[in-house]
């Protein structure tokens, strides 16, 4: 809430107005693939565009910029959380929503994505509330793969894991098959209906955050 005072000398009065200053919804977006030419990195950009069109401020990150060792309790005990895990924890904490596009590897979502979630779920200090940086986040999920199922099986597994760590995963998600045919050379989706669906995932995330006031 911002309070402003406007002087109107010709009227000889002071008019006080209240102006609502609404903070934009903040969303963190990323793909579960670290591959440079990842189809999922391309896909999530459309959800980003949908969220931005709905008024959100979106931070897109590439997990390739946050390499992490395989989670190991002994390593954690000896050295604490790796710097990249701390950076990611802060990013999750600072955003209300998540947009995640993930590939499917051998019928499940990638181990690297699970490893990242595992590190981020760990406490940075003993007083931190359990799963603090996941609790209450609103997430929309999507996937794409060259195959016929588009990564749908991995998507369901990711959904279950996120729900268990108190992320509210929205019902509507999308698996896009035949990725090789769906994107043009510039990385744009060829099918306008698909583009609308993926942008809609971004928009629904913003709307839900606004509705719930999280
Ligand atoms: C180890 C491995 C396992 C894979 N298993 C599956 C699978 O189970 N289902 C599927 O649809 N695609 C599978 N693929 C193909 C990926 O969907 C494909 O490589 C995709 O492009 C990866 O996503 P990205 O383009 O975002 O990196 C697999 C790829 C790899 C490397």
Q: How far is the CA of 120 from the centre of ligand 1 (A)?
A: 24
- Cα 181 to ligand 1 centroid, rounded to whole Å: 15
Q: What is the pLDDT of residue 91?
A: 98
Residues near 78 by Cβ (< 8 Å), separated by ≥ 6? Answer: none
Q: Which of the 8 DSSP states describes residue 70?
A: P
> pLDDT digits over 15-39, tens only?
333 333 579 999 999 999 999 999 9
Angle 152-164/111-120 helices, nearest 10 degrees? 10
Residues of the chain with pLDDT under 70: 1-21
**DSSP summary character for residue 122:** S
Ligand 1 proximity of 204 Cβ (cutoff 6 Å): no
Which residue is closest in CA terms to ligand 1's atom 6? Answer: 105
Please tell me if the CB atom of residue 103 comes closer than 6 angstroms to any atom of ligand 1. yes
83 backbone dihedrals φ, ψ, rounded to 5°: -55, -40
Q: How far apart are CA 64 and CA 197, in angstroms?
A: 27
* 112 DSSP assignment: H
Taking the C-alpha atoms of residue 107 and residue 157, their distance in angstroms, rounded to an integer, is 9
Cβ(107) to ligand 1 under 6 A? yes
Name residues whose C-beta falls within 8 Å of residue 165's C-beta, 6 or more positions apart in sequence: 117, 121, 131, 134, 135
CATH topology of domain 23-212: Rossmann fold (3.40.50)
pTM: 0.91
Question: Given this model, what pLDDT does residue 80 score?
Answer: 97
- The answer to whether 47 and 97 are in contact (CB under 8 A) is no
Asked if 95 and 27 touch (Cβ cutoff 8 Å), the reply is: yes
Give 66-92 pLDDT, tens digit per residue: 999 999 999 999 999 999 999 999 999
For ligand 1, atom 2, name the residue with the nearest CA.
105
Helix (H, G, I), strand (E, B) or coil at 190: coil
């Amino acid at each position: 809430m911002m309070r402003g005072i406007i002087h109107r000398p010709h009227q000889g009065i002071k008019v006080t107005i209240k102006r609502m200053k609404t903070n934009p919804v903040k969303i963190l977006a990323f793909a579960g693939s670290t591959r440079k030419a990842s189809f999922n990195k391309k896909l999530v950009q459309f959800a980003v565009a949908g969220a931005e069109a709905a008024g959100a401020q979106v931070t897109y990150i590439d997990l390739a910029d946050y390499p992490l060792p395989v989670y190991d309790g002994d390593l954690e005990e000896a050295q604490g959380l790796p710097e990249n895990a701390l950076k990611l924890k802060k990013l999750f904490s600072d955003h209300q929503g998540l947009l995640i596009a993930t590939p499917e590897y051998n019928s499940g979502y990638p181990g690297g994505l699970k490893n990242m979630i595992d590190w981020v779920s760990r406490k940075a200090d003993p007083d931190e509330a359990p799963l603090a940086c996941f609790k209450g986040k609103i997430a929309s999920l999507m996937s794409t793969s060259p195959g016929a199922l588009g990564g749908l099986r991995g998507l369901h597994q990711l959904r279950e894991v996120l729900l268990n760590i108190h992320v509210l995963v929205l019902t509507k998600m999308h698996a896009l098959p035949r990725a090789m045919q769906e994107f043009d050379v510039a990385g744009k989706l060829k099918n306008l209906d698909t583009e609308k669906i993926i942008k809609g995932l971004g928009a629904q995330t913003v709307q839900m955050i606004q509705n719930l006031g999280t």
